[in-house]
Amino acid sequence: MRFISKSIQENEKYLKEKFNRSSDIVIRTLVLKNETILLFIYLEGLTKVQSVEENILKPLIFSGLPSGIDVIESLSEMLRREWVPLTNVKSERSLEELVQHVLKGSLVILADGETSAVIAQVQDFEKRSIQESQKESTLRGTKEAFVESIRTNTSLIRRRIIHPQLKMESSTIGTYTQTEVVLAYIQGHADESVISQVRTRLEKIDADGVIDSAYIEEWIENNPLSMFSQIQNTERPDIVTACLLEGKVAIITNGTPFVLILPFTFWEGLQSADDFFERFVFITLTRIIRYLMTFISFALPAIYVALTTFHPEMVPRQLMFSIAAARENSPFPTFFEVFLMMVVFDGLQEAGVHLPNRLGPVMSIIGALIIGQAAVEAGIISTPIIIVISLTGVAGYTIARYSATLPFRIIRYLMLFITGALGFFGFAFGIIILLIHLVTLESFGTPYFSPVAPFDGKKIKNLVIRSPLWSKNRQKKESVK
């Protein structure tokens, strides 16, 4: 630890050395009345220059130091009391800390012969305004979504939960990025053991940088090797609010609109925020459809292969004839054809994500016309398989949370392989392995597959039926997620 020296030249030398080859660092010396030497250091672009000029420089230059002060040692004291018409001002003695403050956008003022510096938080930078969520849009409910600035995000939550028990613990992670991470929870509502678990895991993170909350997610997950995400992420403040009220813990990371929520279970991944904004009878229907579609999204290609090539007697007669007729001239085995189409589908999807907006229409023409139509007409791919694969693809997107859809896209392949080899026996085998994996997972003390396993009769009803908010049967804690 190096402290501020009494000689301002020495301090200036140290700082200039630290900040050499940094064009955006401004170090300015100001001599007042030929005797007091002040040193201003700030980062251009991160500091509200106008405020510095008006509130600090102008009074200093035009009226000088306030009269009635003899000892220069009390500079910081004076600053706080009279000089600087700013709210967030503090003093600091360590040079290293000073550097950190400069890097975060504060204005640092050093005076000759003074061992403490004044730090004025005049941080200000360009940021995105609050917009509607692109990824998790709902038909009803708030249009606000989180932004990159952590203080804006915490304010969005604070505005929704007006209670002193809402705590926001701050820490920094990342040797180079020094990312601010806020751990938010409602004290007395959230499980203390979960909070301390999260706290210790956050402390243990040893990374150079945290670019996004996804980095933190990967560091603190219970089972990092699993393909299922065990932490929820959202950019909707209403979801975070609801989860906090349920006693969950949120992790807000600076620089990303995605807030992490934990613990998280498999079934919560299949829910949507809309579930709580529409009438409950309708939501019950959509939930059933969503579960069905989730099953289709990973099982349908495998079921199709099993039914048509291993157990054709199980298919209704007319359907079997139609399938047989469609496949009459197919050059590849069903298994391979399905696999090929799945690869093509995933390829199209991946291309769609990376494609510049302007090339979008080109993609759809290639995808729909060439692959869809021409391949069938040429007899390379049979029509039922196109139907199966597109239905599978569409079904995958009935799941509202994007990260929850990803494991099913992998399982789709695994199920296809094992079913292609062993038929329905393999299908059953695959499902059993999947279930075994799911029940062993855990997210911060909560079994991942609960309430189905371990079984909880009261909560399991809520998986299918979204009971009305006033209902007595309702779990007190279930609400918007």
Among 154, 232, 233, 334, binds other proteins (CB under 8 A): 334
- Which lies closer to other proteins via its Cβ, residue 214 or residue 434? 434
Type of residue numbered 290? R
Closest approach, Cβ 101 to other proteins, in A, equals 45
- Which lies closer to other proteins via its Cβ, residue 210 or residue 416? 416
Q: Can residue 142 be called a binding residue for other proteins (CB under 8 A)?
A: no
Closest approach, Cβ 435 to other proteins, in A, equals 18
Length of the chain counted residue by residue: 481
Given a contact cutoff of 8 angstroms between Cβ atoms, the answer to whether 476 and 242 are in contact is no
Among 74, 172, 284, 322, binds other proteins (CB under 8 A): 322
3-state secondary structure of 237: helix
Q: How many whole angstroms separate alpha carbon 298 and alpha carbon 415?
A: 7
Hey, which residues between 301 and 320 contact other proteins (CB under 8 A)?
305, 308-310, 312-313, 317, 320
- Which lies closer to other proteins via its Cβ, residue 214 or residue 422? 422
Which pair of structure tokens corresponds to residue 14? 């140290």
Closest approach, Cβ 428 to other proteins, in A, equals 14
- 454: preceding bond cis by omega (within 30 degrees): yes
What is the x/- site pattern for other proteins, positions 416-445, by CB under 8 A?
A: -xx-xxxx--x-------------------
DSSP states along 124-190: ----PPP---SSS--SSS------S-HHHHHHHHHTT---TTEEEEEEEE-TTT-EEEEEEEETTTS
CB atoms near residue 9 (< 10 Å)? 12
Q: Can residue 413 be called a binding residue for other proteins (CB under 8 A)?
A: no
3-state secondary structure of 109: strand
Closest approach, Cβ 304 to other proteins, in A, equals 11
Determine which helix (DSSP H) or strand (DSSP E) holds 25, and give its type and residue range: strand 25-32
**Applying CB under 8 A, what is the total number of residues that bind other proteins?**
28
Closest approach, Cβ 425 to other proteins, in A, equals 9
- Which lies closer to other proteins via its Cβ, residue 117 or residue 306? 306
Q: Can residue 342 be called a binding residue for other proteins (CB under 8 A)?
A: no
Where are the alpha helices (H) located in 206-279, listed in sequence order? 213-220, 237-245
Q: Can residue 401 be called a binding residue for other proteins (CB under 8 A)?
A: no
- Which lies closer to other proteins via its Cβ, residue 20 or residue 318? 318
CA atoms within 13 A on the CB side of 125: 18
- Which lies closer to other proteins via its Cβ, residue 281 or residue 314? 314
CB atoms near residue 126 (< 10 Å)? 6
Q: Can residue 333 be called a binding residue for other proteins (CB under 8 A)?
A: yes
Closest approach, Cβ 227 to other proteins, in A, equals 15
Closest approach, Cβ 382 to other proteins, in A, equals 9
CB atoms near residue 241 (< 10 Å)? 21
- Which lies closer to other proteins via its Cβ, residue 410 or residue 469? 410
Burial string for 266-276 (b: 16+ CB within 10 Å, else e) reads bbbbbbbbbbb
Closest approach, Cβ 315 to other proteins, in A, equals 9
Q: Which residues bind other proteins (CB under 8 A)?
A: 305, 308-310, 312-313, 317, 320-330, 333-335, 417-418, 420-423, 426
